[in-house]
Structure 1
Amino acid sequence: MKKFFLLLLILSFTLTKTNAQAKVNTYKYVIVPLQYKFLKGQNAYRLNTLTKQLFLKSGYEVYYDNQLLPDDVFEDRCLAMYVDVNEVDKGFRLTNLEIELKDCRGKLILKSDLGTSGINMHEERYQTALRNAYETVNDRLFYQENSKLYSSESETVIADVQNEIEETVNTNVVATSNKKMKTTKESKIDDKLESSTKLTEDNTDKEETPMIVFYAKKIENGFQLVNQERKTEMVLLNTALDNVFLVKGGDAIVFKKEGDWILSKNGKDGVQVVSLNIKF
């Protein structure tokens, strides 16, 4: 009888752990910040880029927090997990990092163990510590839609209980090896982020104000330009000329010159010309 209750206790603990794992993997999207609080500057030591790459390999759809999100996430931010990385017990030439995954309300979903590195080079040390932290939760991170997830431990314990109390327990084991990974080219945002990153500690305080990005959504007779918050900034109407648009409701045109998009507007002080960053 004591063995029976012991098996039930182990089964309860294991299924609780498995349910937590399943909860993590009900999320399809992961949102990565452009800057971690413990570092100065965006993408310092390229940790944010590395974070995105690691979660992409686990099968998630990953976006930076300033990107235009898919419609379903934009309407319901609780469909995504939000990444944070913290530095713990900072020491001399010793970096300890931990990864946290939170829901849209800031509730902790999963925390990694500490990833530690003592490599002399700053960038390599931080990246190695991040990779080591990620490895402690890597086996629990994959997205699987509409599935029940059971670990091998659960299957073994359930089998023991079956033998003890002679009941039939149906288990559904989902294989996670050889999971087909989604391969995509790094987005232009990644490239721009990489090229603009300054890795020396002397200049991490210097940040340039980025140009606002407008995203062009195809509509009848033209395009609708929206910002990163999905607010419509202007509507471009087609003309008979390629890469030349009229601005609806304004005395202005938008045209392409030497690869750049230009807004030319008539005002009280004459013609005003402004460069635009438009993503079609």
Structure 2
Amino acid sequence: MKKIFSLLLICCFGLLKVNSQTEVNSYKYIIVPLQYKFLKGENKYRLNTLTKQLFLKSGYEVYYDKQLFPADLFEDRCLAMYADVNEIDRGFRITNLEIELRDCKGELILKSDLGRSGINNHEKRFTTALRNAYDTFSDRLFYQETAKSTSTEEKVVDNKTSDKPLVKSAVALEVSTNSNKVVETKDTTEKEAEKTTEVTAVEKETVEEASGNEILYAQEVDNGYQLVNSEPKVVMVLLKTGLDDVFNVKGNDAIVFKKNGVWMYSENKENGVKLKPLNIKF
């Protein structure tokens, strides 16, 4: 009888774990706050930046809570999971952190185990504890495209506006990182035509940059790499983050990371996130 009861418990636990994993991977977006409640100031110890980078590696589209959102996410906040980090049982030179993912109603979807660090340096202790916490559930995090999060039109809107979204672009631009092919879908009205002309020109320029095939060669420097073109000219400097295949771009609010075997450049802009593929040779 005891063996049967134990077997039932194991089966139930396994089923719950599978359901939780299926649910977490049905979301396309993750929202990260710019400030955690247990710390003073935005992006203290760069924990919020690190959180975003970690989830980007798992294939999600990640936005800060005060950033511009795509139109589908603006109109339906339940397309995203909301990340948070908590400090548990603070001790002397010991930091314990856990990561939570909740839905738009505040219901818990997934929680990591405690990430622990006793490094003497404050910033290294917190970032190490966060990475350790992420590692406890990273194997269950990988975005799988589903009907729930599929959008036929990519529009960038401002999440600080009122109830009605202000569409910053009426042109959907889809860049294929494999073929560098640009697909353009137009959806303009007479009232919006005048407003969207400038935005369209900006987006086309971004796509032209993204579709370039220029080879950038990585040369190792202190704490990272510099990328040079064939001239040769230094295009940008990549700084190590402590994560494999994720770099901060020196002087820009941007990162370079590898997704599905392709190096991607992601930069925060006033009109949204600029994303383009890079052809880097290490």
Q: TM-score range by the shorter chain?
A: 0.5 to 0.7
Cα distance per residue 1:154-179 (max 9 Å; x no partner): xxxxxxxxxxxxxxxxxxxxxxxxxx
The residue type equivalent to 2:40 in the other structure is: K
Larger mean Cα displacement after TM superposition, 50-59 or 65-74: 65-74
The residue type equivalent to 2:43 in the other structure is: N
For the residues of structure 2 that align with 1:18 and 1:278, how far apart are their CA atoms? 39
Tell me if the contact between 2:28 and 2:61 (Cα under 8 Å) persists in the aligned partners: yes
Tell me if the contact between 2:68 and 2:271 (Cα under 8 Å) persists in the aligned partners: no
For the residues of structure 2 that align with 1:278 and 1:139, how far apart are their CA atoms? 34
Q: Is 1:222 matched with 2:195? A: yes
Q: 1:9 to 1:46 in 2, by over 3 A?
A: closer
Q: Post-superposition shift, 1:111?
A: 1.1
5 Å matches for 1:68-217? 68-146=68-146, 216-217=168-169
Equivalent position SS for 2:62: strand
Q: 1:91 to 1:278 in 2, by over 3 A?
A: closer
Q: Post-superposition shift, 1:217?
A: 3.6
Q: 1:119 to 1:6 in 2, by over 3 A?
A: closer
Higher-RCO chain (CA-CA 8 Å, sequence separation at least 6): 1
The residue type equivalent to 1:127 in the other structure is: T
Q: Post-superposition shift, 1:12?
A: 3.4
For the residues of structure 2 that align with 1:95 and 1:224, how far apart are their CA atoms? 51
For the residues of structure 2 that align with 1:121 and 1:82, how far apart are their CA atoms? 29
Q: Which ranges of 4 or more aligned residues in structure 1 deviate by more than 2 Å? A: 1-13, 214-219, 221-225, 277-280
For the residues of structure 1 that align with 2:34 and 2:41, how far apart are their CA atoms? 9
Gapped regions of structure 2 (runs ≥ 5): 148-165, 171-191, 200-268, 273-282
For the residues of structure 1 that align with 2:108 and 2:127, how far apart are their CA atoms? 23
5 Å matches for 1:236-251? none
Tell me if the contact between 1:81 and 1:104 (Cα under 8 Å) persists in the aligned partners: yes
Q: Post-superposition shift, 1:221?
A: 2.5
Equivalent position SS for 1:27: coil
Q: 1:224 to 1:111 in 2, by over 3 A?
A: farther
Q: 1:7 to 1:78 in 2, by over 3 A?
A: same
Equivalent position SS for 2:126: helix
TM-score, structure 2 normalization = 0.52
Alignment correspondent of 2:260: none
Equivalent position SS for 2:30: strand
Q: Post-superposition shift, 1:14?
A: 1.4
Equivalent position SS for 1:222: helix
Equivalent position SS for 2:125: helix
Alignment correspondent of 2:15: 15
For the residues of structure 2 that align with 1:4 and 1:86, how far apart are their CA atoms? 38
Tell me if the contact between 1:78 and 1:103 (Cα under 8 Å) persists in the aligned partners: yes
Q: 1:96 to 1:13 in 2, by over 3 A?
A: closer
Gapped regions of structure 1 (runs ≥ 5): 148-213, 226-235, 237-276
Tell me if the contact between 1:81 and 1:101 (Cα under 8 Å) persists in the aligned partners: yes
For the residues of structure 1 that align with 2:119 and 2:12, how far apart are their CA atoms? 42
Equivalent position SS for 1:92: coil
CA RMSD of aligned residues (A): 2.9
Q: 1:88 to 1:13 in 2, by over 3 A?
A: closer
Tell me if the contact between 2:117 and 2:128 (Cα under 8 Å) persists in the aligned partners: yes
The residue type equivalent to 1:24 in the other structure is: V
Q: Post-superposition shift, 1:93?
A: 1.2
For the residues of structure 1 that align with 2:271 and 2:77, how far apart are their CA atoms? 23
Tell me if the contact between 2:30 and 2:60 (Cα under 8 Å) persists in the aligned partners: yes
Tell me if the contact between 1:217 and 1:224 (Cα under 8 Å) persists in the aligned partners: no
Equivalent position SS for 1:49: helix
For the residues of structure 1 that align with 2:6 and 2:193, how far apart are their CA atoms? 67
The residue type equivalent to 1:29 in the other structure is: Y
For the residues of structure 2 that align with 1:17 and 1:141, how far apart are their CA atoms? 12
Q: Post-superposition shift, 1:5?
A: 7.3
Equivalent position SS for 2:144: coil
Tell me if the contact between 2:95 and 2:126 (Cα under 8 Å) persists in the aligned partners: yes
Cα distance per residue 1:249-272 (max 9 Å; x no partner): xxxxxxxxxxxxxxxxxxxxxxxx
Tell me if the contact between 2:71 and 2:167 (Cα under 8 Å) persists in the aligned partners: no
TM-score, structure 1 normalization = 0.53
